[in-house]
Chain A
């Protein structure tokens, strides 16, 4: 063994290194304590998701005769056949023959409300979130997604239009713009990113996409509101200081298509309960 107190380069490096290691460990432990604490908090509020209130309202709306045609939505085809709701959300977005385009849940619900009930989608598109026709949409979404909870995310990627939308969605995901040159990828394009205490899923990977796509729509505790995916996207764009996308527009459907396709194989956890 070397003379104990003879400082050699090796031992100085060793002690400096171990000091940094200890510091890093302390910070990691602190971070871990915070994230353990957050995990416990999330566990404690997991039971009794206020989204259930929206789901109950949505189920009523599904079965209620509405609009100029005074019809219910019970014949609405969400991709698995008229009136089949169980498991439908896990397979959206998808290509629909009757409208000849790829649609996400919300745009498909607008189609059903128009075709079956005679309700003009424009009023829904124009309404602010959480109000009037959008409020009805939020309830319907809560109902439909609840009936896919636990199912495997399984969107089709074979139809040419589906392929097109995945490609468009990927481009939109990486498209930098707005005054801060942000893109979705700025926050969701790498592992280990975080905003204050919220871990940001890396949506370019299957695991991250499954986490993100699979847990929205969700009841958001900070606003006391149930947010659909369209509202989540809208708010992401707001944070990036982009102009707001039009509700149900191609780019929003494309982004959903890209996220869902990347998430394929993951488990649907909606309705989520978020900060």
Chain B
């Protein structure tokens, strides 16, 4: 599995603020290496977040999302919610991490 994400989720007034930091090169496919060859694109393509087993966010990324992607969204939830964050990249590599809402 790829490198772990950092997931922070805090609840206030019934709204959970979720901040995710993913470790990924997000190679755009626009760069060339020292030999002049194009470095092929390689990036997280889809991300899914579930809280208590239900989808709370879905994202699709292109190669223009920055390296070590950051994502922040909010959903109606509660302290103690179990979050499961998973992504898949353009090579089929995956990562899943869990977090509990504070």
Contact = CB atoms under 8 A, between A and B. Distances in A.
Direct contact of A and B (CB under 8 A): yes
B66 to A, nearest CB: 8
Contact of A57 (B3, B19, B67): B3
Interface residues of A, number: 10
B19 A53 contact: no
Contacts of A221: 66
Interface string A39-67: 00000000110101100110000000000
A178 interface: no
A53 B70 CA distance: 11
Prevailing SS type, chain B contact patch: loop
A47 B17 CA distance: 13
Contact of B68 (A50, A56, A57): A50
A53 B22 CA distance: 8
A177 interface: no
Interface in A11-51: 47-48, 50
A53 B6 contact: yes
Contact of A52 (B21, B25, B66, B67): B21
Q: How large is the interface on B (under 10, 10 to 19, 20 to 34, 35 or more residues)?
A: 10 to 19
A159 B21 CA distance: 42
A47 B66 CA distance: 15
B96 to A, nearest CB: 16
Contact of A53 (B66, B68, B72): B68
A48 B3 contact: no
A53 B67 contact: no
Interface string B6-19: 10000000000001
A16 to B, nearest CB: 49
A53 B25 contact: no
B88 to A, nearest CB: 19
B25 A224 contact: yes
Nearest to B68: A50
Contact of A56 (B6, B25, B67, B70): B6
B4 A224 contact: no
B23 interface: yes
B19 A224 contact: no
Contacts of B68: 50, 53, 219, 224
Contacts of A48: 19, 21, 70, 72
Contacts of A219: 68
The 6 closest A-B pairs by CB, nearest first: A50-B68, A224-B67, A48-B70, A53-B23, A52-B6, A48-B21
16 contacts: A48-B19, A48-B70, A48-B72, A50-B21, A50-B23, A52-B21, A53-B3, A53-B6, A53-B21, A53-B68, A56-B6, A57-B4, A219-B68, A221-B66, A224-B67, A224-B68
Given A50-B23, A56-B6, 16 more contacts: A47-B72, A48-B21, A50-B68, A50-B70, A52-B6, A53-B3, A53-B4, A53-B5, A53-B23, A56-B4, A57-B3, A57-B4, A219-B68, A221-B66, A224-B67, A224-B68
